[in-house]
Amino acid sequence: MLIVQKYGGTSVANLERIRNVAERVINYKKQGHDLVVVVSAMAGETDRLINLAKQITPEPSPRELDMLLATGEQVTSSLLAILLKSVGYDAIALLGFQVPILTTDLFTKARIKEIKTERLRKELALGRIVVVAGFQGVTEDGDITTLGRGGSDTTAVALASALKADLCEIYTDVDGVYTADPRIVPRARKLRKISYEEMLELASSGAKVLEMRSVELAMIYKVPLVVRSSFNYSEGTLITEEDEEMEKVLVSGVTYNRNEARISIYGVPDRPGVAAKIFGPIGEAGIIVDMIIQTARPDGKADLTFTVPRPDFKQALEIVKRVGEELGIERLEGDDRIAKVSIVGAGMRTHSGVATKMFETLAKHGINIMMISTSEIKISCVIEEKYTELAVRALHEAFNLEGEVKEEK
Amino acid sequence: MLIVQKYGGTSVANLERIRNVAERVINYKKQGHDLVVVVSAMAGETDRLINLAKQITPEPSPRELDMLLATGEQVTSSLLAILLKSVGYDAIALLGFQVPILTTDLFTKARIKEIKTERLRKELALGRIVVVAGFQGVTEDGDITTLGRGGSDTTAVALASALKADLCEIYTDVDGVYTADPRIVPRARKLRKISYEEMLELASSGAKVLEMRSVELAMIYKVPLVVRSSFNYSEGTLITEEDEEMEKVLVSGVTYNRNEARISIYGVPDRPGVAAKIFGPIGEAGIIVDMIIQTARPDGKADLTFTVPRPDFKQALEIVKRVGEELGIERLEGDDRIAKVSIVGAGMRTHSGVATKMFETLAKHGINIMMISTSEIKISCVIEEKYTELAVRALHEAFNLEGEVKEEK
């Protein structure tokens, strides 16, 4: 098999952990697999470098910032290749510009345009373990770029896709994807298998195990993805195309997100173009609106409620206040002590009654629902922040997600 | 003027010092000069990275070691460019592969083959300050290389030569080239001007201010070189072609080297091929012999004395012992408590009596001379180590080198 493995920052945090990674890589190599290994910077290194640049100026020149940040992965990939070679395994470290991984020139959040695979295939044909510096690429002009948050995951998935790899393993510091955050629900169960769509909904609604972008990429190019821990040998979670088995599961997981804030506008004139007047300036300020609910009132006006990321709350409120005065609204309300709890499951497509069960469960525990939004395989409710843990535990129990961790099936 | 400036590790040791560098660079830019600025890694960073690799294995794979070490200069060049741009000066950081600086593939001590100047000229024409990461280059295959000890000086001189720059300034933590080590001779005088040849002899006989390789390169390509401090604004030392003024100076400086050891072989059969039998195996062991003196004796045998670097002393002694037994020598002697003191001056070419004065001066102070070697513009004497300071001070005085530091002439 051709396997792409990606090791995150905590997995390569120091030489001892890099040794563990090498051991694992060698194990796979011994089994006869071809290996491309993507590494992140040592935990904390990227932040250290960003901090250096920010000490100089709050807005470092993006091109040079990328050149600076790219050193983090350059160090780890060199060290891992040095280690593999020192114990007799032929390896070669390749940087973004050497693969090459061609990207757009949108520095600090570049997109991969193309990965040339000739060099990779040549090195693999020579029997070498190819170690690739994650997170970085190069423009057509030879400038170094970085791929933004979760960039090394993206590198791994993109490489797996370009090489048509059999598997892409994402090694991190958690065992896999769980039915709920184990810190809140101690009996949360690790999922053996989950669909791309479910993983996307979990990620978008608060699960932090994978960045959405790499899951999207894996889904588009049908790259089988495994999330697992580099600290033990337990099987992780396979993220793949939806199958019959998955459809039978009503709910796969419960997530929460405490990073949002709610803004409600009462008595908005209900005429065309009003929404654009409100959301236009918010979008221009770079603020991403998550949920939006509009209710028409009998008096011809409307009430509008939406959520924004909590760090943008104040700014969004000011914008709405200004626009609201122009529009002549009745009242404005803001609340940053909210949380969003969501249930996700491919089975919702074919089963009814899931939403009802969710609302009943929350009601039974005296939790008021402020907002509801749904997708084909997800239902999210905004509640008071203080009820977060209670809601997650109650929903986890109501949908029978608890259980022993089942490693093998 | 087009000026290439190089700032060493202590000059960019932290953000505060990088700020000083930026200030100096901006000063020059304001005067209308075109600037290419070469930077080293922050002081200590290269050693830290080497240490990381050596913790993995005593002999890290050279290709990946170079990839690792190159990050040091990548960080500094990014930071300096970020800083310059943040205060409104257009700048661009370029790595070895981006210039490109093409080198041989002899990793960890690559030689520069060619510097393509199109990109550099384009950026200069745009009015940009070009910041180049020192010490690194790239092979035709796109592998990152480093240039060995003093590599950033080499980068600067090679860039100055390729661009036909008017001046190459090497910024370091000393004011310039002195008539003697100021730690030993407090009244040592800074030299205003010195020839390439003299600088080479000074460097080869112990002065540490510049690596020989960059001086050689400057001499070959006639690059006017200035050594000066980045910690003050005093004029440094200009290293340039020999002129009449220099010829008038009998002796320019006194140097010493305590890093050698002496091996003497008595009663060597004086027949062809003997020297090769002795120095062959020493050379094969990678040991570089400095001075060699052979004396023929009336009995048809010879005595042979030579010096080796002190760290290689033991190994050299063992080799000679083994070979000596085969040759049937009389006696073997080794001594690692020696020092070499040298006087250097272009004036020696045209003046006589310099050697005599040196020997007399040492004799007057009761210092025994063990070995003597001379070049056109240098005389070196090996003496007992304990006399080093005394010898340097006595010679400095005898040749009237003392004086006030004269900044302006």
In order, the DSSP letters of B36-66 are: EEEE-PPTTHHHHHHHHHHHH-SS--HHHHH
The interface residues of chain B toward chain A in range 52-81, judged by CB-CB distance below 8 A, are 52-53, 55-57, 59-61, 63-65, 67-68, 70-71, 74-75, 77-79, 81
Pair of tokens at residue B191: 């030299």
Evaluate if residue A408 carries a pLDDT over 70. no
Q: What are phi and psi of B353, to 5 degrees?
A: 85, -5
Query: What pLDDT digit, counting tens, does each position of A2-51 carry?
Result: 999 999 999 999 999 999 999 999 999 999 999 999 999 999 999 999 99
Nearest to A57 among B74, B86, B95 (CB): B86
Q: Which residues of B353-369 are buried (b: 16+ CB within 10 A; e: fewer)?
A: ebeebbeebbeeeebee
Pick the residue from chain A with its C-alpha nearest to B85. Answer: A61
- Model pLDDT for residues A288-325, shown as the tens digit of each residue: 998 998 888 889 898 999 999 999 999 999 999 999 99
**Would strands A193-195 and A237-240 be described as parallel, antiparallel, or unpaired?**
parallel
Strand, helix or coil at A31? coil
- SS3 assignment for A52-115: HHHHHCCCCCHHHHHHHHHHHHHHHHHHHHHHHHHCCCCEEEECCCCCCEEECCCCCCCCEEEE
Global pTM value = 0.86
Cβ contacts of B146-149, under 8 Å, gap ≥ 24: B146/B66, B146/B69, B146/B70, B146/B107, B146/B108, B146/B109, B146/B110, B147/B103, B147/B109, B147/B110, B147/B111, B147/B112, B148/B108, B148/B109, B148/B110, B148/B213, B149/B211
Low-confidence stretches of chain B (pLDDT beneath 70)? 404-409
Are the CB atoms for A10 and A170 separated by under 8 Å? no
The percentage of residues in chain A with a pLDDT greater than 90, rounded to a whole number, is 82
Domains of chain A: 2-173 (3.40.1160.10)
- Closest chain A CA to residue B18: A56
What per-residue confidence (pLDDT) applies to B204?
83
Task: Compare all CA atoms of chain B with the CA of A81 and give the residue at the minimum distance.
Answer: B64
- Report pLDDT for B404: 57
Q: How does the average pLDDT of chain A come out, rounded?
A: 93
pLDDT of A154:
96
| pLDDT 10s digits, A86-97 | 999 999 999 999
Sign of CA dihedral A127, A133, A138, A144: negative
Q: Strands across the sheet with B371-375, in order?
A: B253-257, B338-344, B378-384, B371-375
**A110 burial level (CB within 10 Å; 0-12, 13-18, 19+):** buried
Closest CA–CA distance from residue B71 to any residue of chain A (Å): 5
CA of A118 to nearest chain B CA: how many angstroms apart? Answer: 13
Q: How many CB atoms lie within 10 A of CB A139?
A: 20
At A215, is the secondary structure helix, strand, or coil?
Answer: helix
Contacts of A30 (CB under 8 A, 6+ apart): none
Helix B313-327 to helix B274-284 angle, to the nearest 10 degrees?
150
What confidence tens digit (pLDDT) does each residue in A269-295 have?
A: 888 888 889 999 999 998 999 899 888
Tell me whether residues B75 and A63 touch, CB distance under 8 A.
no
Coarse DSSP helix, strand, coil percentages of chain B, rounded to the nearest 5 percent: 40, 25, 35
Q: Which residues of A touch B67 (CB under 8 A)?
A: 74, 77-78, 93, 95
What does the pLDDT look like over A372-400, one tens digit per residue?
988 889 999 999 999 999 999 999 999 99
- Which pLDDT band holds residue A351 (cuts at 50, 70, 90)? confident
Closest CA in chain B for residue A65: B78
**DSSP helix/strand/coil, A262:** strand
Q: Which pLDDT score is estimated for B150?
A: 86
Residues in chain B with CB shorter than 8 Å from the CB of A70 are 74
DSSP state of A287: P
Q: How far is A89 from chain B (nearest CA, A)?
A: 12
Region of A405 on the Ramachandran plot (φ > 0 left; ψ -120 to 50 alpha; else beta): beta
Q: What angle do CA B90, A46, A118 make, to 5 degrees?
A: 85
Q: Which two tokens stand for residue B246?
A: 């220099």
Q: How far apart are CA A134 and CA A74, in angstroms?
A: 8
Tokens for B6, please give them.
Answer: 């190089």
Structure tokens, B29: 């830019």
**pLDDT band (50, 70, 90) for residue A406:** very low
| Mutation target vs A (from B68, B73, B92; most A CBs, 10 A cutoff) | B68
Contacts of A97 in chain B (CB under 8 A): 97, 142
**Residues of chain B positioned with their CB less than 8 A from the CB of A128:** none
- A85 vs B contacts (CB less than 8 Å): 61, 64
Task: Please judge whether B86 and A52 are an interchain contact, meaning their C-beta atoms are less than 8 angstroms apart.
Answer: no
A85/B contact by beta carbon, under 8 A: yes
Token pair 């993006």: residue:
A62
pLDDT for residue A404: 58
* Contact call for B74 and A79, based on CB within 8 A: no
Query: A121 CA to chain B: closest CA distance, Å?
Result: 16
pLDDT of residue A150: 86
Element (H, E) at B307: strand B301-309
Q: CB-based contacts of A244: which residues, under 8 Å, 6+ apart?
A: none
Q: Taking a C-beta distance cutoff of 8 angstroms, is the pair B378, B342 a contact?
A: yes
Residue in B57, B64, B97 nearest the CB of A78: B64
Closest-CA distance, B128 to chain A, in angstroms, reads 14
Pairing of strands A378-384, A292-296: unpaired
**Å between B83 CA and nearest CA of chain A:** 6
Chain A contact set for B86 (CB, 8 A): 56-57, 59-61
Asked if residue A133 lies in contact with residue A100, where contact means CB atoms within 8 angstroms, the answer is no
pLDDT at residue A51, as a whole number? 97
State the best of A20, A74, A75, A128 to mutate against chain B, taking most chain B CBs within 10 Å: A75
